[in-house]
A and B are shown apart, each in its own frame.
Chain A
Amino acid sequence: MTPAIYLTRLSMSDKLLRLFNGIRSDAGAAELDSIDDDAKLRDDLGFDSLELAVLAVKIEAEFGVDVFEQGIVLTVGELRGRINE
C-alpha cells in the first residue's frame, strides 16, 4: 500500500466514523471509537431502516454515491466497496 492510498483510506474511515457517530448521537446511542469492515450495519452498529436511510443521504452528500441504490448493504466493508466503485 502506498502512502497516498493509505491516506485516502484513512480519510474515508474518518468520514464514515463521523457519519456513523452523528446518526448514533441523534438516536441517543454512544459514539464509537473505531469501525472495522466486518461490522454489520444493523446488528453491530444498531442502525434501523430509517437510520440507514439517513446514512444513504449523508454518504451521498459526502461521497456523491447512493450506496443503497443497487440493493441492500450489510457491512461496513460492503459500504466502502460501493463508495469506491
Chain B
Amino acid sequence: MNDKPFFVDPVGGRAVTYADFGRDVKDTTIGSDDFTPKGCYELFKVLLAAILSGSSLRIIAGPLGEKVSEDVEREFHLAQSKNSGSEVRSVGKREVQAAQQEKQSGMISESRGGSRGPVSNPLVADDLLNAIKQSVCRIGVQTSGTTAEPKIVQHGAESLVRTVRSGPSHADDVWGFAFHPAHFAGIQVFLQALCNRNTIVKLFGLDVSVAHRAIDSYQITHLSATPTYLRLLCGQSSADTSQGANAPIHQRVHPHVRRVTMGGETADDHLLQQISKTFPNAKTTNIYASTEAGALLYSGDGQFEIPESLRGRVKIIDGQLAVHRSLLAESFCANIDEEFFLTGDFVENQSEDSQKFSIKSRDSNVINVGGYKVNCQKVESLIEQMPEVVQARVFGKSNSVTGELVCCEVFATAGSCVSVKLIRDRLGDVLNDYELPRIVNLVDLIQTTLTGKKVR
C-alpha cells in the first residue's frame, strides 16, 4: 500500500511513493514563517509538515516555470543519496493503474521495504482528515493578484479542508495537478488527493502536448484547473476520437477523465463545450472560490445557486456577489469593517427572485473606452471561438484619446495570422465598434499571473 505513488512528475517519469513522502514529511522542519516553494513536491512536503506540527507558514508564490521538473527531480536524487531507503524510480502507467486497484485501507501506516527500517511515520492516523482538522496550524496563502497586488490571507486547517471529500468512492481517483502549487485551489487538490491516498500527476508548467500524453499515460481521472489552463489544453478540440492518442494535440480526447473542476475565473459556454469534447465522460463542475473565503458555490452549467445553508450569508448587493464576514478567513476578516465583503464579481440573475445566477465579469474585466464600458471577458470569449485562435487575452491600454483602448494578444493556431481586420470581419456584426480590439499582437504564450489566471 505504501508503494502506491503519491506524486508523479511526467518529465523524466519520476515518482515518489506514499512511504517516501511520509518519511520526507517527518524529516522536514519548519523554519521561518515565509516559504517560497520551488516545486510542487516541496510545497506538499513542507505544507503537510506545518499542518501536522501545528506550525505557522506563509506560502509566497514564486516563479516556477520549466524549472519545476528539474527541481523536483534534483530533490528526489538528493533524497536518494541522503537516505538510501528513499527510493527514486520510474513509475509508469501500469503501476499507477495497479495502485488504483488497491482498496483504501486507512491512512499511511509504517513504512515497508525502506532500508532505513521501520519509521515512526508522521502520517500514521486512522483518519488523516480529522487529524488535519484538529491542527492548530496557521497557513498564509497568497491571493492570485488578478485584480490587485497579491496579499496573504491566513487560514486554519479546517478552512483548508472544508471542501475535501473522502471515502471509498474516491479511492481510485488519479489527480492531474494543474494549479500553481502555491495557489489556494492547488492546496485543496493536494489535500483532497492526500486524504484519499490518490496519486497526483504534475501537469502544471508542462507543454500542452506533454500534458495530454500524461493524462493518457497515467490514466488521470480528475482534473482541476483554471479556465485559462483548460482553454489552452482543450484548444480547438474536436469530437473526432478515431485517431485516439495519435490524434493531433487539438483533437485529443480523454474518455477516462471522470471529473473536471474549474475555479478562479469564469467559464463561458464555449469553454464548457470544448471541455465536453475533450473529456466526453467527465462531469464538469465550476467552483466559485476565493482565497479570502475558500470554495463557496458549485455549478455544473455555468449557473451558480446559493445553497440553503448559505442563504443570508452569501447574497447579491448592487449586482455584486457579497460574502458575510463569518465565511471569510479570520485574518482577512479582521481587516474589514463591513458585515459583508464585496467580492468584485458581478452577477446576472435569471430572475429577480431567483437564487440562480451566472458570473458576468470581475470589475477588472470592465474597461472604459470613450465613455463606453467594454467587458474584456466577453470580447475574449468571442475571439477564442474563431477557428484561427487557440487562446486570447483582451485587456485595456491607457490612451490619451479615448481613456482606454481594447487590445488583444492572440496565440494563433499553426500557420494562422490573426489581425485587427480579421477580427473586425468576423466579429463586426456582434460587437460594437468600441469593443473591437484595435491593437492585436500575435504571441507564443498568453501571459498569466503566477497562479495561472490571465493578467488584465
In whole Å, how far is A61's beta carbon from the nearest beta carbon of chain B? Answer: 9
Interface residues on B, range: 10 to 19
Judged by a CB distance under 8 angstroms, whether B49 is at the interface is no
Give the complex CA separation of A56 and B402 in angstroms. Answer: 10
Among B401, B419, B420, B421, the residue within 8 A (CB) of A68 is B401
Per-residue A-contact encoding for B394-405, CB less than 8 Å = 1, 0 else = 000101111001
Among B370, B405, B421, B424, the residue within 8 A (CB) of A54 is B405
Give the complex CA separation of A51 and B434 in angstroms. Answer: 10
In whole Å, how far is B402's beta carbon from the nearest beta carbon of chain A? Answer: 4
Judged by a CB distance under 8 angstroms, whether B438 is at the interface is yes
Contacts of B399 in A (CB 8 A): 53, 56-57
Question: Do A50 and B434 touch across chains, with their CB atoms under 8 A apart?
Answer: yes
Give the complex CA separation of A52 and B419 in angstroms. Answer: 18
In whole Å, how far is A63's beta carbon from the nearest beta carbon of chain B? Answer: 14
Among B419, B421, B438, the residue within 8 A (CB) of A50 is B438
Contacts of A25 in B (CB 8 A): 421
Question: Do A66 and B400 touch across chains, with their CB atoms under 8 A apart?
Answer: yes
Name B369-397 residues within 8 Å CB distance of A: 369-370, 397
Judged by a CB distance under 8 angstroms, whether A84 is at the interface is no
In whole Å, how far is B193's beta carbon from the nearest beta carbon of chain A? Answer: 47
Of residues A51, A54, A68, A69, which shows the largest number of chain B Cβ atoms within 10 Å of its Cβ? A54
By beta carbon, the residue of chain A nearest B438 is A54
Name A40-77 residues within 8 Å CB distance of B: 49-54, 56-57, 66, 68-69
Give the complex CA separation of A41 and B424 in angstroms. Answer: 22
Give the complex CA separation of A26 and B400 in angstroms. Answer: 21
Of residues A26, A28, A53, A68, which shows the largest number of chain B Cβ atoms within 10 Å of its Cβ? A53
Question: Do B439 and A54 touch across chains, with their CB atoms under 8 A apart?
Answer: yes
Of residues B401, B405, B419, B439, which shows the largest number of chain A Cβ atoms within 10 Å of its Cβ? B401
By beta carbon, the residue of chain B nearest A69 is B400
Give the complex CA separation of A66 and B421 in angstroms. Answer: 24
Query: With A56-B399, A56-B400 in contact, do A50 and B439 touch (Cβ < 8 Å)?
Result: no
By beta carbon, the residue of chain A nearest B433 is A50
By beta carbon, the residue of chain B nearest A67 is B400
Query: With A26-B421, A50-B370, A50-B434 in contact, do A57 and B439 touch (Cβ < 8 Å)?
Result: yes
By beta carbon, the residue of chain B nearest A72 is B401
Query: With A50-B434, A50-B438 in contact, do A56 and B401 touch (Cβ < 8 Å)?
Result: yes
Per-residue A-contact encoding for B415-433, CB less than 8 Å = 1, 0 else = 0000111001000000001
Question: Do B419 and A53 touch across chains, with their CB atoms under 8 A apart?
Answer: no
Among B420, B421, B424, B438, the residue within 8 A (CB) of A53 is B438
Give the complex CA separation of A49 and B370 in angstroms. Answer: 8
Contacts of A68 in B (CB 8 A): 400-401
Give the complex CA separation of A25 and B422 in angstroms. Answer: 11
Question: Do B405 and A26 touch across chains, with their CB atoms under 8 A apart?
Answer: no
Contacts of A57 in B (CB 8 A): 397, 399, 405, 438-439
By beta carbon, the residue of chain A nearest B423 is A26
Per-residue A-contact encoding for B428-451, CB less than 8 Å = 1, 0 else = 000001100011000000000000
By beta carbon, the residue of chain A nearest B439 is A57
Give the complex CA separation of A28 and B420 in angstroms. Answer: 11
In whole Å, how far is A82's beta carbon from the nearest beta carbon of chain B? Answer: 11
Give the complex CA separation of A56 and B438 in angstroms. Answer: 12
In whole Å, how far is A41's beta carbon from the nearest beta carbon of chain B? Answer: 11
In whole Å, how far is B456's beta carbon from the nearest beta carbon of chain A? Answer: 18
Give the complex CA separation of A69 and B419 in angstroms. Answer: 27
By beta carbon, the residue of chain B nearest A66 is B400
Give the complex CA separation of A54 and B434 in angstroms. Answer: 12
Per-residue A-contact encoding for B361-375, CB less than 8 Å = 1, 0 else = 000000001100000
Give the complex CA separation of A53 and B404 in angstroms. Answer: 9
By beta carbon, the residue of chain B nearest A54 is B438
Question: Do B401 and A52 touch across chains, with their CB atoms under 8 A apart?
Answer: yes
Contacts of B370 in A (CB 8 A): 49-50, 53
Give the complex CA separation of A26 and B424 in angstroms. Answer: 8
Subset of 30 A-B contacts with CB under 8 Å: A25-B421, A26-B419, A26-B420, A26-B438, A27-B424, A28-B421, A49-B401, A49-B402, A50-B369, A50-B402, A50-B433, A50-B438, A52-B401, A53-B370, A53-B399, A53-B400, A53-B401, A53-B402, A53-B438, A54-B438, A54-B439, A56-B399, A56-B400, A57-B399, A57-B405, A57-B438, A57-B439, A68-B400, A68-B401, A69-B400
Known: A49-B402, A50-B434. 4 other contacts (CB 8 A): A26-B438, A56-B401, A57-B399, A57-B439
A residues engaging B (CB < 8 A)?
Answer: 25-28, 49-54, 56-57, 66, 68-69
- Please provide the 7 A-B residue pairs with the shortest distance between their CB atoms, ordered closest to farther: A53-B401, A68-B400, A53-B402, A26-B420, A54-B438, A53-B399, A53-B405
